[in-house]
Amino acid sequence: MALQSLDIVRRSATTIPAPQARGATAGAVAKLIDVSKCIGCKACQVACMEWNDLRDEIGSCVGTYTNPPDLSDQSWTLMRFTEYENPKGDLEWLIRKDGCMHCADPGCLKACPSPGAIVQYANGIVDFHEENCIGCGYCITGCPFNVPRISKKDHKAYKCTLCSDRVAVGLEPACVKACPTGAIVFGSKTDMQRHAADRVEDLKSRGFDQAGLYDPSGVGGTHVMYVLHHADQPQLYADLPKDPQISAFVKVWKGISKPLALLGIAAAALTGFLHYVGIGPNETTREDEEAARRELEKPS
Amino acid sequence: MRPARQVADQVDVKTGQIVRYAPATRINHWIVAISFVLLTLSGLAMFWPPLFWLANLFGGGDVTRALHPWIGLVMAAAFFLFAVKVRHDNRLQKADREWLKRVGEVMRNQEENLPEVGRNNAGQKLVYLVALICMLVLLVSGLVIWRAYFTAYFPIDVTRLAALAHALFAFVLILTIVVHVYAGIWVKGSLRAMTRGTVSLGWAWKHHRAWFREVTRHTNGK
């Protein structure tokens, strides 16, 4: 990056510390999405397109209001519409703004093999630095939320940046700015948790006794959180995972297997070397050649 | 006069040595070997961050990522062709058990009490078997994690498992090839079989006596 942020706490495929003299003194940030307040207007989608200069292809209707049908390299956020019939027989229209959750323990960053293609800032934002991206898609393999997308045009991975460029200069993310109902708010994570607690209390008083905050601990908490009326069943909201975690396969692949494999290969090569030095090569001697000749000339 | 062609398992008229591998087999072997080296270098670059600089050998990380699977296809095709060709020499038999029991003596270069070995010894057969299994798993898992073309067709957990399996079996294959290459360095006169095609009579008599007898039986009568 030409512009040093100097507040990088984690950098993909890098073990030495990244420049991080500047911390997040005011605390980590978070975006809180109150699903119960969302009216599905898609102003957030439009704001995201506008600020980031993204234009997805015009698609066709897939039978729901979800449009475009999926996240893509040009759609970093997407309202997912679910029609849910509750046990009382009433229809609930659940609308969840999908996008990167900015995990405290990001699976994408853990899986990324390219130094500096994914970074985590002190304020909690997980950002892709596409100039270092090699397009392998390991971030998709590592992500518990199925968020990153690879562009067909440039083979780089893209996702929501939490408007790191805006946040860096003290602005709120574009989607927050555009939301007309205050369903999306942005601030320090502690403030957002406090605000969420008020919202949950309000929802409970209005009959949603399972209302709660979605800030999954399996990934160390997230910097994008949801207020859900059915926090006990997050899957209702277009398959939001109940207990997201970095997959055990990914943990082994990106954890213990790396040092063990390299140690194993080095040990094998060293064993060979020591065998050569200690015991020595197995050579065919003149006696062997003569014995072979004798046998060859022996009449059969 | 036509130039003498090398035919496997016959005495070479020109050198008086035994032809162990015909030219086509040798070329096939080296296509596998060169692809394997390229795949190991590019694969390790993407597996272990401290070795990411190896990606520069291929022109950068994105080029490495794009090339690796194509080289993999070349290796798989060449290897399976090779494997079919040499399958008969690599069937594990009862006699191989005795050889494996005495593998410690083999390592100490004490060959007096070893059973007579045919065209391949038990160690070589095991290398064949392990390489065959690894290549199969690497090919299948490699296709699954080939993001540009195939990954979208598989559930995410299958992709995750494939990524782990690909790394694991690549590790086993690399270990196997370290052993395989070292065997070629250690047992003098072996490398020539893959570079020139021939081994000396003494080499065949010493290391593969049953094969030596089989080959020379025909020659003797001439």
Q: What is the pLDDT of residue B4?
A: 67
Quote the distance between the C-alpha of residue A254 and its chain's center.
14
β-pairing verdict for A224-228 and A212-214: antiparallel
Q: What is the pLDDT of residue A126?
A: 98
Judged by CB atoms closer than 8 Å, whether chains meet at A140 and B107 is answered as: no
In B, which residues are within 8 Å of A141 by CB distance?
145, 156, 159-160, 163
Q: What is the distance in angstroms between the Cα of B219 and the nearest Cα belonging to chain A?
A: 8
Q: Can you list the residues of chain B whose pLDDT is less than 50?
A: 221-222
CA atoms within 13 A on the CB side of A2: 0
Interface test with B, best of A131, A262, A282, A289 (most B CBs within 10 A): A282
Q: For residue A14, report the phi and psi dihedrals to the nearest 5 degrees.
A: -135, 135
**Which of A257, A276, A292 has its CB closest to that of B167?**
A257
**Which of A114, A115, A293 has its CB closest to that of B201?**
A293
Strand partners, A94: A82
Interface test with A, best of B11, B186, B222 (most A CBs within 10 A): B186
Judged by CB atoms closer than 8 Å, whether chains meet at B47 and A261 is answered as: yes
Whether A230 contacts A37, CB under 8 Å = no
Q: What is the pLDDT of residue B222?
A: 46
Q: How far apart are CA A141 and CA A160, in angstroms?
A: 17
In A, which residues are within 8 Å of B163 by CB distance?
138, 141, 249-250, 253
Which two tokens mark B212? Answer: 């030596």
Q: Is B180 a catalytic residue?
A: yes
Taking each helix axis from N to C end, the angle separating B94-101 and B122-144, rounded to the nearest 10 degrees, works out to 100
Specify the residue for token string 């014995």.
A291
Strand partners, A118: A128
DSSP B11: B
**Closest residue in chain A to residue B165, using alpha carbons only:** A253
| Secondary structure (3-state) at A145 | coil
Q: What averages of pLDDT result for each successive group of 10 residues across chain A (300 residues)?
A: 79 92 91 97 98 95 93 98 95 97 98 97 97 97 98 97 96 98 97 98 96 98 98 97 97 96 97 97 95 83
Q: What is the pLDDT of residue B147?
A: 96
Interface test with A, best of B52, B166, B178 (most A CBs within 10 A): B178
Question: Which of the following is catalytic: B68, B166, B180, B208?
Answer: B180
Other beta carbons within 10 Å of B88: 9
Whether B97 contacts B58, CB under 8 Å = no
Question: Closest by alpha carbon to A130, among A119, A141, A122?
Answer: A119
Quote the distance between the C-alpha of residue B212 and its chain's center.
22
Judged by CB atoms closer than 8 Å, whether chains meet at A284 and B163 is answered as: no
Strand partners, A11: A119
In angstroms, what is the C-alpha Rg of chain B?
20
Judged by CB atoms closer than 8 Å, whether chains meet at A265 and B178 is answered as: yes
Q: How many CB pairs under 8 A join A and B?
A: 151
CA atoms within 13 A on the CB side of B101: 8
Whether A157 contacts A133, CB under 8 Å = yes
Whether A124 contacts A30, CB under 8 Å = yes
On the question of a cis peptide bond just before residue A69, with omega within 30 degrees of 0, the verdict is: no
**Closest residue in chain A to residue B215, using alpha carbons only:** A296
Secondary structure in 3-state letters for B115-164: CCCCCCCHHHHHHHHHHHHHHHHHHHHHHHCCCCCCHHHCCHHHHHHHHH
Whether B194 contacts B6, CB under 8 Å = no
Residues 6+ apart with CB under 8 A from A170: none
- Topology (CATH) of A8-253: Alpha-Beta Plaits (3.30.70)
Which two tokens mark B94? Answer: 């009862």
Judged by CB atoms closer than 8 Å, whether chains meet at A280 and B163 is answered as: no
Judged by CB atoms closer than 8 Å, whether chains meet at B206 and A132 is answered as: no
Whether A247 contacts A144, CB under 8 Å = yes
Q: What is the pLDDT of residue B217?
A: 84
Q: What is the pLDDT of residue B116?
A: 92
Q: Of chain B residues 61-80, which have a CB less than 8 A from chain A?
A: 61-62, 64-66
CATH class of B22-89+115-221: mainly alpha
β-pairing verdict for A91-98 and A78-85: antiparallel
Q: What is the pLDDT of residue B220?
A: 54
Judged by CB atoms closer than 8 Å, whether chains meet at A133 and B62 is answered as: yes
Q: How far apart are CA B201 and CA A220, in angstroms?
A: 67
Q: How far apart are CA B29 and CA B38, in angstroms?
A: 14
Q: How far apart are CA B168 and CA B65, in angstroms?
A: 18
Judged by CB atoms closer than 8 Å, whether chains meet at B163 and A253 is answered as: yes
| Secondary structure (3-state) at A282 | strand
Question: How do the domains of chain A map onto residue ranges?
Answer: 8-253, 256-297
